[in-house]
Amino acid sequence: MLFFIIFACVLGYISWCYYSWQRLAHIPGPSFCGFTQFRQLYWIAQGQPAAHYAKACARYGKLVRVAPNQLITGDAEQWRKMGAIRSPYTRSNFFIAARFRAGEDSVLSMRDEKAHNELRTKLSPGYSGKEVPGVETIIDKSIAEFVDLIRKYNSTSEAFRPMDLSEKINFFTLDVISDLAFGQTFGNLKDDRDNPGIIRDTQKSVTLLALFHELPYIYLFLEKTGVLRWLQTSLGDDFGFNRVFKTADDAVERRFGKAGEVMSKSLEDKNDMMGSFIRHGLSRRQIENETVLQVLAGSDTTAGAIRSILVPLMSNAQAQRKLVEEIDKANIKGSVVTDAEARDMPYLQACIKEGMRWQPPAPTLLSRLVPPEGDTVNGFLVPGGTKIGWSGHAIHHDEDLFGPDVDIFRPERWILCEDGGDCESSTRLTQMNRVSELQFSYGRFRCLGEIVAKIEINKILVELFRRFEVNFCNPLKVFEMSFSADVFVQAGMWVRVTERRRS
């Protein structure tokens, strides 16, 4: 009897492998990826999926098979088409593991199209700043604390005080988003420490989360059986994610009162993001889940974007000098640059676009589901139910668009037409900007936190180079740790900072 069970299982597995291979056999990809997911999972466990997806696109073309039911695209217009408002593409089961609380969806993990659109509509006024007039003031407070913290590490000819800039950037983005989400910061910049422990715990768990994104059925099994809830509880209150849950719940309780109590009208009308969410009809539990999402997803991607810009910029003396000259010549009126002043600095904006092009902070997959009727993608007929993700590196390193020096950090490529460039250059720059917009996704999947993230990036770059000279301690080893999963995880970015003498 046991023999027949084993035989049936082996036969079933072989049949499944053949069916999976045959279904998408006409689409090229690395060896064995049509039969098994093991190669893709190995890339993730290795910490190099972004690099492998980019290499696959370079070798096989703009549509590549990387798993039995997983394709990736290196085509910007295809990715834009899939995210368009009226596109029949939907979110795939990739997003199931984006639930930060087991069994509870946020706007990031929600796959029901109607419910997702309704929730986005309710959240948008708060994220856009329309109902939160003090967003820039809140960010300015954290900028001031960031500058004060950097000053403590000021090196001189007599004293060398190395500083982990990667860590301080994480402190900044966590304090900003916690202040916006909860109405109070974690106090990371003030205390010079990761108070909630999020940075450490994210570094430990991000690879496992990436594996769950590619193995959603295992995640669902663990969720349905209660294993995830048990694991979350067993990790204790000191686990960074649990501390964020507790902070979010406490912040909502201050607004709503204890469970069952009537919420104060004066608190409901407060002009912050939570007040906006309340006014637009979100329930207490929805607000708790959205504030957790803001902290866990929003802070890390913004910190990654800032590092993506800083690393090549600090490695390019000419680019850094031109940026500092532009900042010094700008008429910055206040103690902290305004977002409007920063957006009016063309070379700064070129450096931001080029840095995020050079290393996209969210580099892999975010898979969409091909509609039931199928679709033709890059000349291939793709059956319904197939998952298609993106390779951010392949899309932003397209030689046909960005030129033969695509792997070089060259901000000047974004200002080709500034001084009377010809018509062809102007058209090309427009196309480049269309691709750059995809960093925050597109259409109905566009990142709600884009506006806040861009303000943070503008301000921190200006104030860092306005006030300090920053150099790597070891240019041959920029990070002590660096790998990719769904985002880039980088730590140990040791620098020497010296306060600039400004006239």
Q: What is the pLDDT of residue 422?
A: 47
Crossing angle of helices 346-358 and 450-467, rounded to 10°: 110
Largest interatomic CA distance in the chain:
88
Give the count of alpha carbons within 13 A of 66, CB side only.
33
Q: What is the pLDDT of residue 13?
A: 67
- Domain boundaries in the chain? 26-499
Q: What is the pLDDT of residue 433?
A: 94
Rounded to whole angstroms, the Cα distance separating 217 from 215 reads 6
- At residue 479, the 3 state secondary structure works out as coil
Q: Give the mean pLDDT per block of 10 residues along the chain (503 residues).
A: 71 73 92 91 94 96 96 96 94 91 89 92 85 86 97 94 97 92 88 89 85 92 89 76 78 72 53 82 88 83 95 95 96 92 96 96 91 96 96 95 94 74 70 94 90 96 97 95 89 96 66
Q: What is the pLDDT of residue 498?
A: 96
Q: In angstroms, how far is CA 299 from the centroid of its own chain?
A: 8
CATH of domain 26-499: 1.10.630.10
